[in-house]
Amino acid sequence: MSKVSFHRLVFLLFLSQILIHFGSCLRPRCKENEKKALIKFKENIIDPSNRLSSWIIGGDCCEWSGVICSNKTGHVIKLNLRNSFPSNSALGGAIDFSLLQLKYLTDLDLSMNNFEGTQIPHFFGSFAELRYLNLSGASFSGKIPQNIANLSRLQYLDLGFYEPDSVENDLQWVSGLHSLKYLNLEGVNLYTTSSYWLQTINTLPSLLELHLPQCQLMNLPKSIPFVNFTSLSILDLSNNGFNSTIPKWLFNLTNLKSLDLNSNSLQGELSDMFSELTSLENLDLSSNFEIEGRLPKGLGVLCNLQKLSLDYNRLNGSIAEFVDGLSQCTNPKLETLNLGYNNLDGNLPSSLGLLNSLRYLLLWGNSFTELYLSSNRMGGEIPQSFGQLKSMSVMELRDNSWEGIVTEAHLANLSSLREISIGRFSRNVSLKFDISSDWTPPFVLKYVKIQGCNLGPKFPSFLRNQTDLERIIINFAGISDVIPDWFLEMDLELHELDVAYNQLSGRVPNSLRFKTDSNVDLSSNNFEGPLPLWSSNLTTLYLRDNKFSGPIPKNIGTAMPFMTDMDISRNRLNGTIPFSIGNMAALTTFVVSSNYLNGEIPDFWDSMPMLYIVDMSNNTLSGKIPASIGNLLGLKFLVLSTNNLSGILPPSLRNCTELASLDLGDNKLSGKIPPWIGSKMSSLLILRLRNNSFTGTIPSQICNLSVLHILDVSKNNLSGEIPACVGNLTGFKTEFTSEHTALYQGRLQVVAKGRLLQYDSILYLVNSVDLSRNSFSGAIPAEITTLFRLGTLNLSTNQLTGEIPATIGRFERIETLDLSMNGLSGHIPPSIVSLTFLNHLNLSYNNLSGPIPRGNQFETLNVDPTIYEGNSFLCGFPLPAKCYRPEIAPFPGVDAGESDDDNDELERVWLFISVGMGFFVGFWGFCGSLVIKKRWRDLYFNYVGRLINRIVDCRNCR
Ligand SMILES: *[C@@H]1O[C@H](CO)[C@@H](O)[C@H](O)[C@H]1NC(C)=O
Ligand SMILES: *[C@@H]1O[C@H](CO)[C@@H](O)[C@H](O)[C@H]1NC(C)=O
Ligand SMILES: *[C@@H]1O[C@H](CO)[C@@H](O)[C@H](O)[C@H]1NC(C)=O
Ligand SMILES: *[C@@H]1O[C@H](CO)[C@@H](O)[C@H](O)[C@H]1NC(C)=O
């Protein structure tokens, strides 16, 4: 080795020492062409919050935010521009082609930005080194470029939260991505890939996570020849359209930790083969609605299971085998057991107490009959295993038919319990709480919902010291007590207080405090004293059916301006309706019926444009109907009956074109029936003007009311002829349409929630025309008999003449027919005997003549002679006068019919209507219109949403 070369070597060694020493300082700077490309990229990007402010031409691009260079080569290898900030910092604009200059890019993350529904740029398929591509939530949409398939090194592809779009994508491109470990195509429309999507996925042997939720996949193949992607750990195929059974090949994915098939329409029974999936931690098959049969034993061996969601299916039988199985794991991991809304029954096994990780037990909406085995079956021993569930936080047991007795022993160790629900909204739960008044619970509850169980007669003392309570729902609980002082002393700030349907009495203090948007329901108790006045946070207030007295506080509207629903009906309130109610600008339901309110109705209605139910019936309100009610353009129910209102109908009312029920009966209103009721209010189901002083004729426009089911103008001073166009009232002759069915079901739903038990199906059956006690003259138009669905026709006490239409037999459904006190003549048409539903007939005091027809069950009706009396020339049974032509002898021993109080049935119906007129009627009427009006639908869902939140507690809804 020469000297020179030796020196050279020493120098090189020295140099390399320096390089090693200062290595980090001498990291290669960013490449000029890549920097230029990034600057070009930035120029085309919209960056509202200036997130790319560090990207300046003079700088080293490797230092820029989101840019990561290789330590060795200085090339940009990662671009991370994910928006983890609020939406106003999302990048947008165009993605410039220049980005392709970043030839060594391995990671590209543009997630959570907003590219406003543009396509994924084509050139993304040309990043030859790309391993990680995350475009989730970046508002790309449309066709995914096919050349993504060229990204053969790609391991991670996330297109999740793809903008929903009708553009159908294929999946051929996926088979090019051999290295893929993670694939998320959530929201990408894969409808047309149904026949081959699984085969394509099966070409990806390295796949660990597959997320294809909401991809409109319709076909989950029953079999595939060979499952290649057996490394798969997470499989999410939720929210698709699968309607088959769960295929067997799934059980070959033995590395699965999470299987999510919720919200499909999967069918059939669950297989014992779930036992193969021993790594499973999360299984979600909820909301398939069609999965049936028993919980398989195979599920009970999955000791790693942390979360099992099978709610909203049709599972039945006992859960004992499953729970027994799991309880044998050395360390059962199950935290969430959600079996809500199935048909499960039997007992809860005592082994449940061994699932010591259990935090969420959701068993609502099943048919479990016994919570604690009643003592006679267990020889006096009540299993206290529940008390061992120290981790238990949320226990949803409501909507089951629990029986037996809950003592403090069962709650003794539930120290983590925060939320509990049990019972159902009815009086018929046979579960009794027997908890001594000095027991101190180990839990600190936030939410308690105990319905229909026997908790009384004292106010439940275990709530003492529960100072974290936010929602208290204890109704139908047999409590007859006053609200105890200790409850008030806790000084809770509540979101919900619902103690409806008890016998609570005494005054309700104004000192209760409420959180924003809170609900109070004290209905159907014996509360007395002045109406309470609470904080402005209240949005719903139900105080109906108590003994509150005195005036409505003058400042109620300024005190609680955010009120949306207010029902203070059926109390003893007097005085006037305070003007301040006009401040409740969001009010939708205003029900003050059945009190002693007097004075005039304030003219403040234009400040409450959201109102759709106004019920002030059964008070002593006087004066005119204020014109501003006509500004309630969405009004559905206007019920002002049984007051002392006078004057004419305000012409502005014609703007209320959405009205379904206009009930102004039993007042002192006068003037003519305005024609616009018929021409403008085409949704009217109920028109009730009875017992007023209306004059003039029935305007023919009334015949336009094609969905009318109740027309009652009786007891007025109306005159003229009954218009022949009544035959056009198609509501009385069409079968119930789907719209009506929806209406009916909507009401049933309410009934199911127990809100209005006495309602049952009565309105469904009502089809009634009552024109009685007026001065109508002329003949009964034969057209009226085309209204073949009519249940009640009352034309009595008028001046009608001529003959009863011969076609009267067409009234297939008629139950009540009253033509009494008129001047009708001629024979009773023989077709009357075909009215097989008839049970109240009155033809008395006319000039009818000839024989009384006989036949069918008309005979049974016929035994009461008073229904024919006052017709001098009628003859035959049951009248004493014999006809000339001998009649066949009547059947002996037929009993007299029911009371012939003609109005009886209708009065009863109206009693029901006015009893229920609060928001209940609103409910059913509403559902009917949902089909038609979007605006109403929105309102309705707001309203129902609130109601459901109160009744159902929607925490678990999807
Ligand atoms: C480059 O080197 C730094 C400092 O040693 C290190 O923190 C960083 O992770 C390295 N980056 C890459 C991409 O290897
Ligand atoms: C699955 O794997 C087998 C064996 O490795 C292979 O022969 C077959 O082609 C693969 N199937 C698909 C669809 O890629
Ligand atoms: C599932 O696994 C079994 C046993 O390992 C094997 O015999 C069968 O062929 C596999 N089925 C599929 C569809 O891959
Ligand atoms: C599943 O849906 C398809 C398409 O809607 C239908 O043809 C098929 O009968 C359904 N299968 C079952 C089992 O319901």
**Ligand nearest to the Cα of 73, by number:** 1
CA of 71 to the centre of ligand 1 (A): 6
For residues 378 and 376, give the distance between their C-alpha atoms in angstroms, rounded to a whole number.
6
Average pLDDT value for residue range 927-953:
33
User: What does 318-357 look like in DSSP terms, one character per residue?
Assistant: -SHHHHHHHHTSSS----EEE--SSEEEEEPPGGGGG-TT
For residues 188 and 917, give the distance between their C-alpha atoms in angstroms, rounded to a whole number.
48
Closest CA to ligand 1's atom 6: 71
Pocket perturbation via mutation, ligand 1, pick of 22, 67, 71 by most ligand atoms within 8 A of CB: 71
At residue 667 the predicted structure's pLDDT band, cuts being 50, 70 and 90, is very high
Q: Find out whether the beta carbon of 71 lies less than 6 Å from any atom of ligand 1.
A: yes
At residue 378 the predicted structure's pLDDT band, cuts being 50, 70 and 90, is very low
Nearest one of 626, 574, 580, 581 to 600, comparing CA atoms: 626
718 beta partners: 696
Pocket perturbation via mutation, ligand 3, pick of 198, 199, 226 by most ligand atoms within 8 A of CB: 226
Q: Kindly tell me the burial class for residue 428, based on how many C-beta atoms sit within 10 Å of its own C-beta (0-12, 13-18, 19 or more).
A: exposed
At residue 9 the predicted structure's pLDDT band, cuts being 50, 70 and 90, is low
For residues 747 and 757, give the distance between their C-alpha atoms in angstroms, rounded to a whole number.
11
Residue bearing the bigger pLDDT, 238 or 537: 238
At residue 5 the predicted structure's pLDDT band, cuts being 50, 70 and 90, is low
Query: Residue 226 half-sphere exposure, CB side, CA atoms within 13 Å?
Result: 4
Average pLDDT value for residue range 123-144:
93
For residues 548 and 552, give the distance between their C-alpha atoms in angstroms, rounded to a whole number.
10
For residues 203 and 56, give the distance between their C-alpha atoms in angstroms, rounded to a whole number.
45
At residue 8 the predicted structure's pLDDT band, cuts being 50, 70 and 90, is low
Judged by average pLDDT, the poorest of 273-287, 377-391, 717-731, 843-857 is 377-391
Q: CB of 295 within 8 A of CB of 315?
A: yes
Nearest one of 251, 248, 240, 244 to 266, comparing CA atoms: 244
* Phi, psi values for residue 214, rounded to 5°: 55, 40
Residue bearing the bigger pLDDT, 24 or 394: 394
DSSP for residue 870:
T
Closest CA to ligand 1's atom 1: 71
The predicted structure's pLDDT at residue 191: 93
Query: Could you report the per-residue pLDDT of 43-101, keeping only the tens digit for each?
Result: 999 999 999 999 988 889 999 999 999 998 999 999 999 998 776 789 999 999 999 99
Q: Which atom of ligand 2 is nearest to the CA of 199?
A: 13
Domains delineated in the chain: 709-922 (3.80.10.10)
Judged by average pLDDT, the poorest of 40-49, 339-348, 598-607, 803-812 is 339-348
Closest CA to ligand 2's atom 3: 228
CA of 249 to the centre of ligand 2 (A): 15
Judged by average pLDDT, the poorest of 35-44, 457-466, 719-728, 947-956 is 947-956
CA of 224 to the centre of ligand 3 (A): 10
The predicted structure's pLDDT at residue 754: 25
Tokens found for residue 612: 């759709």
Closest CA to ligand 2's atom 1: 228
The predicted structure's pLDDT at residue 383: 52
For residues 93 and 421, give the distance between their C-alpha atoms in angstroms, rounded to a whole number.
50
Judged by average pLDDT, the poorest of 370-384, 822-836, 839-853 is 370-384
Percent of the chain with pLDDT strictly greater than 90: 60
The predicted structure's pLDDT at residue 862: 65
Q: How many helices (H) and strands (E) does the chain have?
A: 14, 55
For residues 619 and 641, give the distance between their C-alpha atoms in angstroms, rounded to a whole number.
9
Residue bearing the bigger pLDDT, 743 or 766: 766
Given a cut of 50, whether residue 910 has pLDDT beyond it is: no
Query: Could you report the per-residue pLDDT of 283-335, keeping only the tens digit for each?
Result: 999 999 999 999 998 999 999 999 999 999 999 988 889 999 999 999 999 99
The residue type found at 229 is F
Given a cut of 60, whether residue 900 has pLDDT beyond it is: no
**Ligand nearest to the Cα of 28, by number:** 1
CA of 247 to the centre of ligand 3 (A): 12
The predicted structure's pLDDT at residue 338: 96
Q: Which atom of ligand 3 is nearest to the CA of 226?
A: 14
Query: Could you report the per-residue pLDDT of 625-661, keeping only the tens digit for each?
Result: 999 999 999 898 898 999 999 999 999 999 999 888 8
CA of 398 to the centre of ligand 1 (A): 56
Q: Which atom of ligand 2 is nearest to the CA of 228?
A: 1
Query: Could you report the per-residue pLDDT of 695-730, keeping only the tens digit for each?
Result: 999 999 999 998 888 899 999 999 999 999 999 998
The number of residues making up the chain comes to: 958
**Ligand nearest to the Cα of 76, by number:** 1
Closest CA to ligand 1's atom 14: 71
Q: Name the 3-class secondary structure at 10.
A: helix
Judged by average pLDDT, the poorest of 312-326, 396-410, 865-879 is 396-410
**Chain-centre distance of CA 911, in angstroms?**
29
Tokens found for residue 714: 């009786």
817 beta partners: 793, 841
Those residues whose C-beta lies under 8 Å from the C-beta of residue 729, and which sit 6 or more positions away, are: 703, 705, 706, 708, 711, 769, 787
**Ligand nearest to the Cα of 72, by number:** 1
The predicted structure's pLDDT at residue 735: 60
CA of 225 to the centre of ligand 2 (A): 9
CA of 251 to the centre of ligand 2 (A): 18
Q: Find out whether the beta carbon of 73 lies less than 6 Å from any atom of ligand 1.
A: no
CA of 11 to the centre of ligand 1 (A): 29
Q: Which atom of ligand 3 is nearest to the CA of 223?
A: 13
CA of 226 to the centre of ligand 3 (A): 7
Query: Could you report the per-residue pLDDT of 589-617, keeping only the tens digit for each?
Result: 899 999 999 999 999 999 999 998 899 99
Tokens found for residue 532: 């309470």
Percent of the chain with pLDDT strictly greater than 70: 83
Residue bearing the bigger pLDDT, 359 or 948: 359
Q: Find out whether the beta carbon of 227 lies less than 6 Å from any atom of ligand 3.
A: yes
CA of 253 to the centre of ligand 3 (A): 9
Residue bearing the bigger pLDDT, 837 or 928: 837
The residue type found at 815 is E
At residue 353 the predicted structure's pLDDT band, cuts being 50, 70 and 90, is confident
Pocket perturbation via mutation, ligand 2, pick of 228, 230, 232, 253 by most ligand atoms within 8 A of CB: 228
Given a cut of 60, whether residue 947 has pLDDT beyond it is: no
CA angle 947, 284, 262 (to 5 degrees): 65
The predicted structure's pLDDT at residue 11: 52
The predicted structure's pLDDT at residue 834: 86
In angstroms, the Cα distances linking 619 to 593, 669, 948 are 6, 15, 30
CA of 551 to the centre of ligand 3 (A): 78
Given a cut of 90, whether residue 419 has pLDDT beyond it is: yes
Q: Which residues lie with the beta carbon below 6 Å from any ligand 2 atom?
A: 199, 202-203, 226, 228
- Find the radius of gyration of the CA atoms of the chain: 38
The DSSP bridge pattern shows strands 717-721 and 775-779 to be parallel
Average pLDDT value for residue range 563-567:
91
The predicted structure's pLDDT at residue 755: 29
For residues 87 and 78, give the distance between their C-alpha atoms in angstroms, rounded to a whole number.
23
Query: Could you report the per-residue pLDDT of 677-703, keeping only the tens digit for each?
Result: 999 999 888 899 999 999 999 999 999
Helix (H) or strand (E) holding 842: strand 840-842
Average pLDDT value for residue range 210-230:
94
Closest CA to ligand 1's atom 13: 70
Closest CA to ligand 2's atom 6: 228
CA of 199 to the centre of ligand 2 (A): 10
The predicted structure's pLDDT at residue 384: 63
**What's the N-to-C CA distance of the chain in angstroms?**
81
CA of 255 to the centre of ligand 3 (A): 14
At residue 741 the predicted structure's pLDDT band, cuts being 50, 70 and 90, is very low
Residue owning tokens 């799934």: 250
The predicted structure's pLDDT at residue 456: 76
In angstroms, the Cα distances linking 302 to 287, 314, 327 are 22, 22, 10
Residue bearing the bigger pLDDT, 835 or 531: 531
Residue bearing the bigger pLDDT, 909 or 731: 731
Query: Could you report the per-residue pLDDT of 354-366, keeping only the tens digit for each?
Result: 899 999 999 988 8
For residues 350 and 84, give the distance between their C-alpha atoms in angstroms, rounded to a whole number.
47
Work out the mean pLDDT of the chain and round it to a whole number. Answer: 83
E-strand spans in 740-791? 768-770, 775-779
Q: Name the 3-class secondary structure at 644.
A: strand
User: What does 179-204 look like in DSSP terms, one character per residue?
Assistant: T--EEE-TT---GGGTTTHHHHHTT-
Judged by average pLDDT, the poorest of 461-470, 741-750, 804-813 is 741-750
Tokens found for residue 414: 């539930």
Query: Could you report the per-residue pLDDT of 165-209, keeping only the tens digit for each?
Result: 778 899 999 988 999 999 999 999 999 998 899 999 999 999 999
Nearest one of 622, 630, 627 to 668, comparing CA atoms: 622
For residues 170 and 239, give the distance between their C-alpha atoms in angstroms, rounded to a whole number.
19
Closest CA to ligand 1's atom 2: 71
